[in-house]
Structure 1
């Protein structure tokens, strides 16, 4: 409908809403992602640096773990947050390669930016990237080497050592490699639940003072009077695990009782004592020497057990109790009246030991052991926290390698081989627009060996030229040699990675890139105070409106 030949203006969005769209929006999103990539790419590889990150509360974190860095970065740009998601997905699915996936996604965006600027449809670019990704994954599956069953432990050690080369603990990788492989092999091989690997951090000592406990170790719980009289070590003890509170409750806590004579009051008090003594006697008669409970064990029960040479610990953390159950074969009981022998757990040795400034309870030599504990030592809390993150990556790599036996060479060898393959394929088989997109994807893969060289202080251009020549001649596993600053065979150097790491990284990076390229319009609500791109100023009055909005209890975006 027209009014006097003019179409009326229809306002759909709220006043103050900021919109931007088109090619400029896509380029803005790409630039935001490149800013994130520039922050994290210096941490890649064995000679990558660490980032010192300080949050709003002044808490410090020193790390080069990609997932941790991305989680701690306070990224406000909506498109750049997608890189945080792919780092988390890589960490959850594989456990390693979190930095690689962000660097790779950023480089793919950088390479296709030129096509966007020239006006090539983003849908054509997306189609080409997906095709290149599928070809890359197929190539990895084709060249991957299947490890032999006989040398399983040796292979797992090599994979764990490769995962540690870029971490703080690389100097002690031989020590921690054995620890990580022992830890994963101690789990139930059916589900390989890495959460059953307990990690305890105790400041003090050196890295090599760290312990592997084939069983359970946890910090001494809160104790009452009588605890010091209890024995602190047993050989082959029976263990009972409870979810029962063993404390004497005063009558005023539970009910109001009216009495007329002192004898009636005394009968009530005696009844309460009888209730707890019956529980304690029932536990003692089971023959158990170690009593653990998720709930408090009071001073009366503590003294009762001490008089009978039993050890008890109350308020045991839920995850520690679960690992004790897995290790000793015990069953958690919610009552003391019907505890049978099959409900008890057992281990070869229980004792309480001093480690650093803490006392720990150790359950070792467990027959049912489907769990273990790593006790980490080190000079500073931040250092031990980074060691824990490093071991998590190695544990996840070993866990995946047990189920997926295919491996590829590290050090940029796999990426260079795929890059060379895609270049050859695009030249021969793809004559139209997608050829340029696939070649851009192939060039983007070279960022991994290039950044490895840059972070190590090598001449990246010279080494990449050598790698291109070697891969053209058929040297599938030629990669960056960090020892002699050159090129060498990664398989012979035992720089191995599970093929799953590479496949997941390429797929996640491609998905993120396609998602970012498909967004050509952003609509930001009035109360949102987030800029569209790093360094871009907010519209006049937007910050004030955002602050007013939050004051009224409106959602913060």
Structure 2
């Protein structure tokens, strides 16, 4: 980048810096964003295809989860990276609809391209898109359907829609019932659901049908001592955040021992202190101990003799979930233990899964933390089941919190397109063109669903539009029947927030990309001044090294 001053160029950017301006910069950014949208578009819907991703280490991921695909793709272009941010936000907020959000953003930019070629200014398009996004939120709120958290049948349908099209679809009845039960168990009275209280463990072996929901916790741990009982029924559980071992001094101390019996007395005293700690735990009446810190070998011996099952070095997050599952209080000092701090569980057992020991804390009364053990024939199967479960858990938790759903199958997008076109006709000037372009972009969802199912997208889009023109707001595309169907009756439903978040994120990204008219890329940093040339040692004069 340089400016002329009296015929002499003034260099203000480092040599090697590239700059794209105006239409060239816009075209490059839009093309990159559209390429990302195209990459995931074929995964949309229950008949979407999967992607196989192989990283530099040779690790393979097979999935059709939009967020996972974009996360695993090694993307360099800055505009394309902004599309990945949409997927990440969508995944963090609602767990599903990542592909829809990216595809809508790509289509908004594609529609904007036509307007740019007609010399509509990017600022006008951005303003129109923002107005259309605000109006879309109003329209979606108007077509949303209220649902109660106690309506388990509807919640299962929400989970089923999220799982459809993923590798777990064949097992959706089993998984959906499990998801709804898990979310209902951990929901707080105000409807807040934090899915970190659902502990998902993956164990290769068995079949997917062997996946189970444990009303309690499963820890990837084993007993502290093999002599401890493997199974404890009607367990009284103590959760301890203190080491059951000889306490070392806080400050540096030196003990002078002059006779052997003094050393023995010192060791006996140390053992006596550990024994006293163990006795306090035994006296509490606990039959199972989960300790966040270490348990001394001698303490293990006393606990084993007392028939207590102890587990040491349990993660903080697992301790918190154990407290929610069993009703126990986290105790920070052995001296402060009281029987009222103990929790209960119908069964605590060490079981072997795929050759590895795990501790199961099951049959808890009204557990506020639960566990799901995923089984399957291979790592790839289990990973895809886990991704499907994560999406289903997230969407059900969103519905429990918001209590609002919309029909699926492209029904909300078709209704948006219809109402936005009417809205555009009430707005004058060039902004009307941008709002109409936004409305046209909404049609990409039903069109992509039809394309991925091998159906005729144009005929089906016309048929769905005709139903919506007649006032049938919940009609969408049934990819199995190949015709418009009432999605609400068919049980294809999604959380309202999946749609509102997707449109918000897609609009923000599209507007941001449209407003960029200059891309300045710095050159890769060369060697420090006075160091080796950029070519390094490898650049020898001609003739050198030719043997």
- TM-score of the pair, normalised by structure 1: 0.89
Question: What does residue range 18-417 of structure 1 map to in structure 2 within 5 Å?
Answer: 18-147=18-147, 152-189=151-188, 190-221=191-222, 223=224, 227-247=225-245, 256-367=254-365, 369-417=367-415
SS at structure 2 position matched to 1:492: helix
Unaligned runs of 5+ in 2: 527-532, 539-547
Structure 1 runs, 4 residues or longer, greater than 4 Å off: 247-251, 253-256, 543-548
Q: CA deviation at 1:355?
A: 3.1
User: Aligned in 2, Cα 1:404/1:546: closer, same or farther, shift over 3 Å?
Assistant: farther
Question: 1:454 and 2:455 equivalent?
Answer: no
Deviates more, 1:106-115 or 1:9-18: 9-18
Hey, what does 1:513 align to over in structure 2?
A: 510
Deviates more, 1:296-305 or 1:17-26: 296-305
* Residue deviations 1:136-187 (CA, integer Å, cap 9, x gap): 22111112222357x6222211111111112211121111111000111111
Q: CA deviation at 1:368?
A: 5.4
Does the aligned pair in 2 maintain the 1:222–1:315 contact within 8 Å? Answer: no
User: Aligned in 2, Cα 1:462/1:528: closer, same or farther, shift over 3 Å?
Assistant: farther
Hey, what does 1:540 align to over in structure 2?
A: none
Does the aligned pair in 2 maintain the 1:221–1:315 contact within 8 Å? Answer: no
SS at structure 2 position matched to 1:349: strand
Deviates more, 1:330-339 or 1:383-392: 330-339
Unaligned runs of 5+ in 1: 530-542, 549-557
Distance 1:154 1:340 in 2: 43
Distance 2:266 2:506 in 1: 70
Question: 1:525 and 2:522 equivalent?
Answer: yes
User: Aligned in 2, Cα 1:373/1:6: closer, same or farther, shift over 3 Å?
Assistant: same
Q: CA deviation at 1:434?
A: 2.0
Does the aligned pair in 1 maintain the 2:274–2:298 contact within 8 Å? Answer: no
- TM-score of the pair, normalised by structure 2: 0.91
User: Aligned in 2, Cα 1:544/1:467: closer, same or farther, shift over 3 Å?
Assistant: farther
Distance 2:418 2:445 in 1: 14
Q: CA deviation at 1:381?
A: 1.1
Compute the RMSD of aligned alpha carbons: 2.5
Question: What does residue range 465-504 of structure 1 map to in structure 2 within 5 Å?
Answer: 465-504=462-501
User: Aligned in 2, Cα 1:313/1:271: closer, same or farther, shift over 3 Å?
Assistant: same
Distance 1:482 1:123 in 2: 38
Distance 1:58 1:205 in 2: 26
Distance 1:463 1:172 in 2: 29
Q: CA deviation at 1:470?
A: 2.1
